[in-house]
Amino acid sequence: MAGKEVDTGCLIDIPALRGLTFYGVPETPVGGRGIAWRVLLELLPSEKHTWKDALASKRDSYQAFCKDLIVEQETLIEGDVTGDDNPLSNSRGSKWSEYWKDEEVREAIQKDVSRTHPGYAFFQQKEVLAAMRRMLFIFAKLNPGIAYIQGMNEVLAPLYYVFMRERPPPPQQNADGDDGDESRGDPYGFQNNDNVEADTFWCFNTVMSEIRDWFIQTLDRSDSGIQGYIRKFQNTLARQDEELASHLDGLSLDPTFYAFRWITTMLSREFDLPDTVRLWDSLFADEDRFSFLIDICCAMVIRARKDLLASDFAPALQLLQRYPPTDLRHLLLEAQAVRDREILFRSGQVSGGNVNNKGNSFKSKFPRWGRKPLQESSNDDYKEDLQAVVRAASNQAAAFSSAVSTGAAGAAKLFRSWSSSFDERMKRVNNEDT
C-alpha cells in the first residue's frame, strides 16, 4: 500500500520458532507448517523483508537447472545424427552417451516414484509424479557423487506433500478492501505450482546435504555414515534399556535389519503420512539434526519391549520391520524423555553403559527418570514432567495458530515475541507444578 511503512528490521526468532515447531505445527490455519519448514530448512531467511528476493533467486536457479539438465530425446533427434555424436556413440562428451546414462537414473527414479504412498490420491496425479521425477533427476545430475539412491523418494515425498497441500491462503481483505498486509494477493508466490516445486527441491537439497553421508557406501562406517548412526542408536538403546538391548543382542538381531530403513527414510515408511509429517516437525526443529531421530528410534523399540522380550528372532524382527500402529503423542513424549536422559549422560550428571557395559546407572543415580516405558510408568514425578510438556505444547500450538491466522505482517510481529512468551509460559507451567 502507498504510504505504508515496511518493517525492514523484522527478524524471525529462530530458536523460538524451533521451540514452537518441535511440539507440532497446528493443522489450522493452513500454511503454518509450509512456512515453518521453509524457514527451518533455510530457504526463507530470518529477515522477512528479504523473502521475495531470496525466493526469486532460488526459483530462477531451479528453472535454469530444468532447462539445462533435462535433455529430451526429441531434441537430440532433431540434431545431426550422421556424425560422431549419434545414438550409438559412447565417446567422451557425447550428448547421446550422456542421455543413455541419464536414462538408467530416470528408470530407477520412475520405479520408486510410482510406488510412493500408493494409498494417497495426491501421489496418483500425473503432475505430482512428473514433478517428483524432475526434482530427483535434477538432484542426481547436480550431485554425481551420490546421484540417486533408493529411498530418496521417501524423503522428498512428505516435503512436496506439505508444500502443495498446506499452501498459505492469500490475506483476506477487510471491509474497505485493504488486505492488511504490505502487498496483496499471493506476495510470495506460494500458490504457484512451479514455485512450490522449486521450493520443495531446495528444501530437499538442504535435507540431503545433512544426511547424504547415509547414502554414500564408502562412508558407511564413518561416524556420519549410516553404520555410524546405527552405532549411535545401539549405544543409546543400551543406555536407556540395557535389558532389552542385551536381549536383542542375544538374539543376534542386527539393528541394520530394521534401523537402516528407519534412519535413511527418516521414518517416513513406518508411519502414515500425516504422522510422518508431524514427526518431521520435531526433526526439522531439532537444532542438532538428526539427533532426535535416534531418540525416536529408541523410543519405538522401548515401547515394544514387552513383546520383544517375549519373542525369538523371527517374530522380533517381523515386529520391528513392520512396526505396529502406536500412539504418536506418547511415542514423541517417550522420545523426549530419551533425549533428556541422554543430555544428562553427555553432561556427566549421570553415567551410562553401552552394549558391553552392564548395569542401569540411569535408574540408580537419577531415579526420577526411571527406565520404564511411558505406558508402564507409575512414577508420579515422571508423569508430571510429561504433563508439563503436553501443556507447554498446547500453549505453543495456540501461539503458532494465532501467528499464522493474523497474516504475514501479524505473524512477523508474533515471531519476534515468541521467545519471551515461551519463557513466560514455561515459568507458568513450572509454577503450576509446584
Per-residue cell: 28? 489450522
Burial code of 257-288, b = ≥16 C-beta within 10 A, e = fewer?
A: ebbbbbbbbbbbebbebebbbbbbbbbbbbee
What the block records as the C-alpha cell of 256 is 541394520
* DSSP code of residue 221: T
Between 9 and 419, the higher pLDDT residue: 9
Buried b (16+ CB within 10 A) or exposed e, 386-410: beebebbbebbbebbbebbebbbbb
Average pLDDT for 162-191: 68
83-131 confidence digits (pLDDT tens):
555 555 556 666 766 777 888 999 999 999 999 999 999 999 999 999 9
Please name the CATH architecture into which domain 222-377 falls. Orthogonal Bundle (1.10)
Say what the pTM is: 0.76
3-state secondary structure of 11: strand
Where is pLDDT greater, at 219 or 40? Answer: 40
Q: Residue 140: its pLDDT value, please?
A: 96
Distance CA 382, CA 66 (A): 53
Question: Can you give the residue ranges of every domain in the chain?
Answer: 45-169+187-215, 222-377
